[in-house]
Amino acid sequence: MARPRKTNGIGIGVEDTQICVVMVGLPARGKSLIAQKAQRYLKWLSIDAMVFNVGNYRRQDSPQPGADFFDNSNEKGERMRRAAAEAAVTDMLKWFKAGGVVGILDATNSTKERRRWVKERCDAQGVETLFVESKCDDEALVMSNILEVKTTSPDYKGLDPETAAQDFRERIHNYEKVYQTIDEDESHLTYLKIMDVGKQVIINRIQDYLQSRVVYYLMNLHIKPRSIWLSRHGESEFNLEGKIGGDAPLSARGEMYAKKLPDLVRESVGDDRPLTVWTSTLRRTIATARFLPESYNQLQWKALDELDSGVCDCLTYQEISELYPEDFAARDNDKYNYRYRGGESYRDVVIRLEPIIMELERSENILIVTHQAVLRCIYAYFMKKSQADSPWMAVPLHTLIKLTPRAYGTQEERYDAKIPAVSTWRGKGSVAKHEDPTAATDAIGKGGDLPQ
């Protein structure tokens, strides 16, 4: 009996399609990073996705094993690793039965026999399989990933870094003894091979729209270590007046922030490498970025313009509550999906930001100077914030945010310019201009801006 038709909330009907994305690759090839990125991208687009990390299941019985645990001749280790894979796949298939759409099996899946077993289990339940192999022979990148793992993996928590690195190298060597890359013997499989962090991509037997959507995203990924810098524009005249939208100039304090921003960027980057700067087409973001070094290439994106508030543009929240009381209440009730009359919703902003996310994923050294709602949506993507919470996050003015994606989450650092700015975060039901933003759900930091 067919499952009921499902939609992901943004007009993409996935019907009965369910996909198991099966990661393939040696350790230190970025599989977990790719898996985490794929999950957060799909959930950001309202497609139900879940990562099933076999290592997490294995750690329940063997939390910090030595490299010999992963030697294929170690019968006990092999038995425990197989049991962990069985548990992960069983849980994933239960999740699919409950209505999950894209399950991501994060493991080495290093042999043809193991991949055949996964496919047979999924086939028996009518779940499609998409194998994603990350293959990398770039020694510098592999070493970088080893350094990443030894400092962030639960397997090496509390261990001496050099001891951890040596053990991890030995673990990789044990996998290399039995590793089988996807080749012509598996030409019947649907797969994507990412070679040397995207220098070459091989696609085989992609079957439907949802698979194509996942593959398109994964083709744009690279797994090189990098950071993304985010900043609000400086305080604007409309911020001071409590008005939303518009194209107001910077206030005097906003000008001070624009002049201070190059120093904040230099401090956070840590060296003199040039960044590419993306701003919106509105003058408050362009003005904020104008003192950055000439070596920084600057691009203006219409997609980074602030959420369009339609008929409420240039009004205060007090005026909106008086002129459009029903709309004011409806937006508070479901801020993510509420669309201003003649304007946009947060969901609309996410859709128009998808090309920005794609460019971010294939680029390096990007600084984005943008607006409150747009920054919330981008931040929610990297930090896996929920749709219910993201529109209410308090985003500080005059603060530079540095995000560094890692295999086990995204690291966040903040750099406060220490230039005062009006706090205009608004809580549900309130029309006040100045409130304490620390009451906001999942506040990014103190300070604030008009919550478009």
Q: Which residues are catalytic?
A: 106, 233, 306
CA-angle at 225, arms to 390 and 111, nearest 5°? 100
Is 398 a known ligand-binding residue? no
DSSP state of 5: P
- Indicate the helix (H) or strand (E) that contains 230: strand 228-232
Long-range contacts of 92-96 (CB under 8 A, 24+ apart): 92/20, 92/50, 92/52, 93/121, 93/122, 93/125, 93/127, 95/50, 95/52, 96/18, 96/20, 96/125, 96/127
CA-angle at 418, arms to 413 and 420, nearest 5°? 125
Place of tokens 């910090």: 64
Torsion of CA 366, 451, 395, 241, to 10 degrees: 100
Is 371 a known ligand-binding residue? no
Alpha-carbon gap, residue 68 to 74, rounded angstroms: 7
- Indicate the helix (H) or strand (E) that contains 106: strand 102-106
Is 234 a known ligand-binding residue? yes
DSSP state of 335: T
Is 205 a known ligand-binding residue? no
Place of tokens 């543009």: 313
Query: Strand pairing of 200-204 and 191-195?
Result: antiparallel
- Provide the 3-class DSSP secondary structure of residue 129: strand
Alpha-carbon gap, residue 76 to 62, rounded angstroms: 11
Alpha-carbon gap, residue 166 to 12, rounded angstroms: 47
Is 148 a known ligand-binding residue? no
- Closest Cα partner for 356 from 278, 269, 265? 278
- Provide the 3-class DSSP secondary structure of residue 351: helix
What token pair was written down for 70?
């992963």
Alpha helices in 155-290 (DSSP H): 161-176, 209-219, 237-241, 252-269, 283-289
- Indicate the helix (H) or strand (E) that contains 37: helix 31-44
- Residue 438: which residues within 8 A CB-CB, separation 6 or more? 394, 446
* Binding-site annotation: residue ranges for substrate: 232-239, 284
* Binding-site annotation: residue ranges: 232-239, 284
